[in-house]
Structure 1
Amino acid sequence: MAPAVKNKEYPAQAQPHYSTADLLKTAPTGRTLALWCGGIFLVLCLALFLPWTQNIRSNGTLTALNPAGRPQTLQSVISGRIEKWHVQEGQTVQKGDTLISISEVKDKYFDPQLLQRLNEQIEAKRMSLVATQQKAKALEDQIANLRGGLTFSLNKARNKIDQVKFKLQSDSAELVAAQTDYKIAQVQLERQEALYQQGLKSLTELETRRLKFQEVRAKLQGYENKVASTHNELQNARIELNSLTAEYGEKTAKAESELSATRGYAYTTNGELAKMKNEYANTKIRAGFYHITAPQNGIVVKAMKAGIGETVKEGEAVATILPREAQLAVELFVKPMDFPLIRKGQHIRLQFDGWPALVFSGWPNTGFGTFGGRIAVIDNVATMGKYRILVVPDPQTEPWPEALRIGSGVYGWALLNDVPIWYELWRQLNGFPADYPTQETGATYAPKDKKESNALTDETSAE
């Protein structure tokens, strides 16, 4: 229906009243709503230019920076049977406190006097080794005496040969004299016979000369026999000299062979003695494993083996202990796409499970209940398709709550560059990664002093 038109022919007070025209008037509520919608749209458009902190979100758990501070399982070094539990779960223990006592299950170690028996065996073997060494020393002395006796006998035999040679020379000289006397006697006999034929000498004188000739001849024969005997004696002396070398060589070789056998037995005995000492030391050390002790101060978290009389194997876990006074750290896992954006010392905001918090990831300074941290360790090898990072408390921010316990869940986000909200929406819609942080953006943590820098280096090297 067209709006009512004023009638120019009638005055205003004479115009009739139409209710339909009144109903077609613009309502003030609609105008107000339009103004509000326009204002909100304007505010939203202006908000698109507000700064927004880019971040990398990740979930993780609370752990310890030093591996020695993380929960560890205690294993039994030897197999045995549980005899007694000295602690209970949740109990605080000191380093060296006995947790479990076990007994032997191998028949080799059942003897309660096993160490004493092994010690007696070692002593007996040691005395056997001493006796063998003494025998070897006696054989060495015997060989030395044989060699000395050989030298003395050889010298004696050589002296005897020299004496026989001198005697042979003397006998040879006497033989030459006897031969001369024989020739003279023979000439005299011939002359005497010639004179006797001429009648100048009597038969008695001839027979006397003949007798004397026989004496000289007998004497020559004696000297010849004597020289021959001396030759034989010289030959025997030379043979004896050669036989001495062979005789003493045989005795020396036999003694040396026995000495080698004795030394071999001594070496074998020494090896057996070392083996027995090793067995004694191993048994003595094994006796120390009958009591499983706490490796450091901590709290007994869980007992893997329950009751008395249960058997445990070598290397089997029997309990879990949580070390005390460990430096807490947060273990987060980031995607490979976000890994290039992570740097050591970079700021991290953390939200711990069970701790009330109001979080605005784009405006980290407006929320509460979150805590600051910095990256201390970055793994270079992916685990299950993600890279692990360790975050430690940031000394420039508020300290972490004391009620935190290892193993609780953590939600963290690494702070990157500040960008307008419209840019962040555009990046999210297109699936682009966050901007690469630079030193100028303040995304990398810089220590205040040298002491803090050394602390960061020590923590990293400790990991």
Structure 2
Amino acid sequence: MLNISNNSISKHIKRKDFKAFAALDNINYFKFSRKTVTLLFILLGTGLFLPWTQNIRSEGYVTTRSPEHRPQSIQSVISGRLEQWYVQEGDLVSKGDTLVFISDAKSEYFDPLLVQRTQEQVDAKRQSIQSYEDKVSAIRSQSQAISQGLQLKLRQLQNKIIQANNKVQMDSIDLVAAKTQWEIAENQRERTQQLYDKGLKSLTDLQEKKLKVQETQAKYTVQENKLTNQKNELLNLDIELSSTEQAYQDKLSKARSELQSALSSKLSTQAEVSKLENQVSNYTQRQSLYYITAPQSGFVSKTIKQGLGEMIKEGTDILTIVPDEHELAVEIYIKPQDLPLVQYGNRVRIRFDGWPAIVISGWPEASTGVFTGQVVTIDRSISANGYYRLLVSPDPNDRSWPDKLSIGTGSQSFLLLNTVPIWYEVWRQLNGFPADYYTEEKESPKPLKLKAPLKSVK
């Protein structure tokens, strides 16, 4: 048929009997096909030079930037028995509203008058503190009285010692006078004896002188003994002074010991009072925990514990509250090779599940039903799924996100990068190069100033 063989069949058939040969012989048909193909190639070549916005696609879901705006599980701080529900699923509660009432499950807290009786113990201990304070005051007064008595006794003994010293001095003078008289009497006796021997004095005179000597000698001996006794009395006063001071010091030491014991007992009682007051505060606070209240306003989305009489442990989830006011954001994940290309403030096109849209990733301005956001958080540590996490907040310069968006709604995001020709993007995709592989390094923009300052992870 193509006449490329030596055995041609063109002589044995009639070409006009076949429509295919008739179409091949129609020159105008071939001219139309060539024009069409040429036009297509021209359009395709022109289209390769059209601008194309590089993007990173990712799927994510709606969340919130602030941790307190995310769904919150409500737990019980204490273990107990579920007694009464005050809310139902779907109810709107305000901060402080009562959600659940539980009763205590521990036997040491069963007493309904536990706080009152513990407070009575505190009052009794406080009275004990007052008694110890009175005892301390009495002991201090006693110590002061002992000190004053010691001073008076010491002054009395010191006066006696002074008097004894004076008597010792007087007796010493009297002893010297008695000794002088004795010596004079002895001298007179000797001279009378000499005169008697010469016959000038009578025996009576001699005997009188001898008697005088004995009298003065006796007076000297008496005075000497008196002086000795007075010195002994002075020594006894010195001993009495030391013993009195020692006795009073013993009394003061005993009073001080009793004072320290009273102070120690007072401090111990104060410690017991503090401990009991701590127990009263704990008991009061524990009773306030029987009523579980809402930490913030929101909707009751799910009750985890059901029925009445069910036992719950501390830290166990009871229900979940979704805050009624929140700042929405979209959580997306990107590949590690795309992370160096992402910067704070990059624009992101987002399509939410349930909001129909026509998405043309390369021409974001031609997309409809698509919302705009900005990158506000970039994790610097890889997630468990092998991707890096980004948070995207609404763009304040673009239209607002839908009011009826709920946390957990799925989304498809297109992180917009540089605008390049289509031929460059096709070439990059065919070669597997990342975006902006050959672009010059640009100065990174400053982080956006948002309501809460961004904290970069080092």
Report the TM-score, using the length of structure 1 for normalisation: 0.87
Contact 1:72 1:322 in 2 (8 A): yes
Contact 2:53 2:363 in 1 (8 A): yes
Whether 1:399 and 2:393 are equivalent positions in the alignment is: no
**1:410 — aligned with what?**
411
Structure 1 residues 271 and 436: alpha-carbon distance in aligned structure 2, compared to 1, 3 A threshold: farther
**1:422 — aligned with what?**
423
Give CA deviations for 1:360-404 in whole Å, capped at 9, x if unaligned: 101111121100111111122221221111111112222111111
Whether 1:433 and 2:448 are equivalent positions in the alignment is: no
1:459 is displaced (CA, Å) by 5.6
1:73-88 map, 5 Å:
73-88=73-88
Contact 1:347 1:445 in 2 (8 A): no
**1:222 — aligned with what?**
222
**Any idea what SS the aligned residue of 2:39 has?**
helix
Q: Distance in 2 between matches of 1:114 and 1:230?
A: 77
**2:10 — aligned with what?**
none
**Any idea what SS the aligned residue of 1:43 has?**
helix
Q: Distance in 1 between matches of 2:349 and 2:306?
A: 42
Task: Select between 115-124 and 149-158 the one with higher mean Cα deviation.
Answer: 149-158
Structure 1 residues 181 and 19: alpha-carbon distance in aligned structure 2, compared to 1, 3 A threshold: closer
Q: Number of aligned pairs?
A: 441
Task: Select between 292-301 and 248-257 the one with higher mean Cα deviation.
Answer: 248-257
**1:61 — aligned with what?**
61
Q: Distance in 2 between matches of 1:411 and 1:379?
A: 19
In angstroms, what is the RMSD of aligned CA positions?
A: 2.9
Structure 1 residues 139 and 462: alpha-carbon distance in aligned structure 2, compared to 1, 3 A threshold: farther
1:414 is displaced (CA, Å) by 0.9
Contact 2:344 2:446 in 1 (8 A): no
Q: Which amino acid aligns with 1:257?
A: S
**1:176 — aligned with what?**
176
Whether 1:460 and 2:438 are equivalent positions in the alignment is: no
**1:263 — aligned with what?**
263
Q: Distance in 1 between matches of 2:276 and 2:156?
A: 53
1:34 is displaced (CA, Å) by 4.7
**Any idea what SS the aligned residue of 1:77 has?**
coil
Q: Distance in 1 between matches of 2:361 and 2:202?
A: 171
Structure 1 residues 411 and 445: alpha-carbon distance in aligned structure 2, compared to 1, 3 A threshold: farther
Contact 1:341 1:437 in 2 (8 A): no
**Any idea what SS the aligned residue of 1:460 has?**
coil
Contact 1:376 1:459 in 2 (8 A): no
**1:239 — aligned with what?**
239
Q: Which amino acid aligns with 1:406?
A: I
Structure 1 residues 22 and 431: alpha-carbon distance in aligned structure 2, compared to 1, 3 A threshold: closer
Structure 1 residues 142 and 68: alpha-carbon distance in aligned structure 2, compared to 1, 3 A threshold: same
Q: Distance in 2 between matches of 1:177 and 1:74?
A: 112
Structure 1 residues 29 and 219: alpha-carbon distance in aligned structure 2, compared to 1, 3 A threshold: same
**1:330 — aligned with what?**
330
1:419 is displaced (CA, Å) by 1.5
Q: Which amino acid aligns with 1:386?
A: Y
Q: Distance in 2 between matches of 1:32 and 1:226?
A: 168
Task: Select between 129-138 and 360-369 the one with higher mean Cα deviation.
Answer: 129-138
**1:90 — aligned with what?**
90
1:250 is displaced (CA, Å) by 2.3
1:312 is displaced (CA, Å) by 1.3
Task: Select between 203-212 and 174-183 the one with higher mean Cα deviation.
Answer: 203-212
Give CA deviations for 1:308-358 in whole Å, capped at 9, x if unaligned: 111111111111111111111111111111111111111110000011011
Contact 1:82 1:310 in 2 (8 A): yes
Give CA deviations for 1:215-246 in whole Å, capped at 9, x if unaligned: 33332222122111101111111111222232
Q: Distance in 2 between matches of 1:174 and 1:239?
A: 26
**Any idea what SS the aligned residue of 1:411 has?**
strand
**1:390 — aligned with what?**
391
1:213 is displaced (CA, Å) by 4.1
Q: Which amino acid aligns with 1:143?
A: S
Structure 1 residues 264 and 439: alpha-carbon distance in aligned structure 2, compared to 1, 3 A threshold: farther
**1:105 — aligned with what?**
105
Whether 1:300 and 2:294 are equivalent positions in the alignment is: no
1:196 is displaced (CA, Å) by 4.9
Q: Distance in 2 between matches of 1:252 and 1:314?
A: 58
Whether 1:309 and 2:303 are equivalent positions in the alignment is: no
**2:5 — aligned with what?**
none
**What are the ranges of 5 or more consecutive residues in structure 1 without an aligned counterpart?**
3-17, 448-452
Give CA deviations for 1:157-200 in whole Å, capped at 9, x if unaligned: 22222211110110111111112222222333444455555555
Q: Distance in 1 between matches of 2:159 and 2:53?
A: 116
**What are the ranges of 5 or more consecutive residues in structure 2 without an aligned counterpart?**
3-13
Q: Distance in 1 between matches of 2:137 and 2:178?
A: 60
**1:11 — aligned with what?**
none
| Identity score, percent | 46
Q: Distance in 2 between matches of 1:120 and 1:106?
A: 22
Q: Which amino acid aligns with 2:120?
A: E
1:31 is displaced (CA, Å) by 5.1
**Any idea what SS the aligned residue of 1:301 has?**
strand
